[in-house]
Amino acid sequence: MAKKVQDALKDLVSLCKRRGIIFPGSEIYDGLANTWDYGPYGVELKRNIKDLWWKKFVTSREDIVGLDSSILLNPKVWEASGHVKSFSDPLVDCKVCRERSRADHLLEDKLGSGAAAGKNFTEIAEMMKENAIQCPKCGSKDWTEPRSFNLMFKTEIGVVEGTGNQVYLRPETAQGIFINFKNIADNCRQKIPFGVGQIGKSFRNEITPGNFIFRTREFEQMEMEFFCKPGTEQEWYAYWKSFCMEWLGEIGLRKEKLRIREHSQEELSHYSNGTSDIEYEFPFGWGELWGIASRTNYDLTQHIEHSKTDLRYHDKVANEKYVPFVVEPALGADRLLLALLCDAYDVEKTDTGEDRSVFRFHPSIAPVKAAILPLSKDDELMAVAKDLYKKLLKKWPVEYDETQSIGKRYRRQDEIGTPYCITIDFGTVGRDGEDKKGLVTIRERDSMKQDTVNIEDAEAWLGRHL
């Protein structure tokens, strides 16, 4: 029987905690709403995702360089970008139970993605009434008028409190790239077209975070700004949509769970001449995974105006100066990790009729590549297994496990997504016939099929399969 939608996510959250992937934040102090800590396996999983993205989008390309900009920027940056004035959400309260919600999310839940995009507060209020939007807590349809709520976290620098020392935690990594455009173009010998990639933390004071790590107040972005000559941006916009979709398939996401949703003219930001969301079908429905936007030259133009700094690009070959256009593929590492968890999670019946929970991660994503398991707590078997473990550990993240029965150890590795288990048995050490001496059994996670190889060939075998 199929599981309920909410149960599927709850099962995932439970398994992630039990297997050391993701823990609730500050749990011993009754927690802090919508904060999560990545455990020993979760941090490796997330690191693999970031490393694969960095290699694909930065180090393996001639036209992309990297950057790590500061989380704290001069407040004038956010004034120029428009975040101080307009980075806000329409907040409504239920008049009956006082439940606080984002009006645009309530409308999207009923009418679909982008339903409230581009609407002003008056139009949103009318849509709430016309569509009889109910409170998710009590069912009432009586709401307050929408009001603006700025999403940026404020903090103070220096020893004296006051508005003169007020700064913001960055709500996106993109502006750090824009304000460093001149430094990179002048000092790193990059020629248009080129991109700047960055991985880093961002912070948004979301009104209604939720759905596990899908929407959180603290998150990590993998973002790239691709600078190109005006007039070529649509070509690059199409290129990056295709490139991003291709990479998601490479790391194991199923194509039938992905789609590209092009924004309508009504949804487009005033500075965009093309925006698409790559969406994934989560247990709670379709949700944005990756935003790809053609941002024209808006950001650089704003910073030129506010900073009085010439950020134009000088094309020495054509002997002309212009403000480059920008195409931005922006992806959340945490949101992609959730998609990979959802996509890989499976529960199946074994031949013995038991439920087997398994994460079918692509080997490049898996936090542990192989587990080395002595068949029993026999001193000779454990010694051989530990020697193999230490040898393989120099090349891959592998585990050694000797506790409980071999079946339970297999299940434990299945639940953290380990692609291969290597078992050292009595045949390996020559106590089960000379014809089996030196042989180990390698079990494949998804099919549970076993292959027998010489222990000296185990490293080469893994190298061909990982």
The string of pLDDT tens digits covering residues 121-146 is 888 989 999 999 999 899 999 999 99
> Does residue 3 register a pLDDT over 60?
no
Structure tokens at 291: 């935003």
Q: What is the mean pLDDT of residues 253-266?
A: 95
80: Cβ contacts below 8 Å, ≥ 6 apart: 302, 303, 305, 306, 307
Q: Which of 15-24, 110-119, 188-197, 409-418 has the lowest mean pLDDT?
A: 110-119
The dihedral built from the CA positions of residue 82, 84, 86 and 89, taken in this order, carries a sign that is positive
How many angstroms separate the CA atoms of 320 and 396, rounded? 50
Is the CATH code 3.30.565.10 the one for domain 88-150? no
Dihedral, CA atoms, 73, 74, 79, 80, nearest 10 degrees? -80
Q: 142-167 pLDDT, tens per residue?
A: 999 998 888 899 999 887 666 568 89
What homologous superfamily does CATH list for 368-465? Anticodon-binding domain (3.40.50.800)
For residue 398, the 8-state DSSP code is E
Of residues 122 and 327, more confidently modeled: 327
Q: Which CATH superfamily is domain 5-75+157-341 in?
A: Bira Bifunctional Protein; Domain 2 (3.30.930.10)
User: What percentage of the chain exceeds 90 in pLDDT?
Assistant: 80
pTM of the shown model: 0.89
Question: Among candidates 339, 335, 341, 382, which has minimal Cα distance to 360?
Answer: 341
CA distance 346 to 417: 10
Report the candidate in 37, 39, 15, 17 with the shortest Cα–Cα distance to residue 26.
Answer: 37
For the chain, domain boundaries = 5-75+157-341, 88-150, 368-465
When pLDDT is cut at 50, 70 and 90, the band that residue 2 belongs to is very low
The pLDDT of residue 71 is 97
Q: At CB < 8 A and 24+ separation, what contacts does 377-381 make?
A: 377/402, 378/426, 380/429, 380/431, 381/424, 381/425, 381/426, 381/428, 381/429
Specify the pLDDT at position 162.
63
pLDDT band at 292 (very low <50, low <70, confident <90, very high): very high
Q: Is 326 left (phi over 0), alpha (psi -120 to 50) or beta?
A: beta
For residue 249, give both structure tokens.
């398939």
**348: number of CA atoms within 13 Å, CB side?**
15
Angle at 33 between CA 106 and CA 46, to 5 degrees: 95
User: Any idea what DSSP says for residue 171?
Assistant: S
Return the pLDDT at 457.
97
Report the mean per-residue pLDDT for the chain.
93
Judge if 5-75+157-341 and 88-150 fold alike in CATH terms.
no
Residue at 292: amino acid letter: I
Say how far apart CA 16 and CA 212 lie, in whole Å. Answer: 11
* 3-state SS assignment for residue 107: helix
| Mean pLDDT confidence for 271-291 | 96
- The gap from C-alpha 346 to its chain's centroid, in whole angstroms, comes to 20
What are the start-end ranges of the E strands in 362-448? 370-374, 398-400, 420-424, 439-444
Answer with the residue of higher pLDDT: 379 or 118.
379
6 confidence band (pLDDT: 50, 70, 90): very low
Rounded CA separation 131/143 (Å): 13
Position 222 pLDDT exceeds 70:
yes
Polymer length of the chain: 466
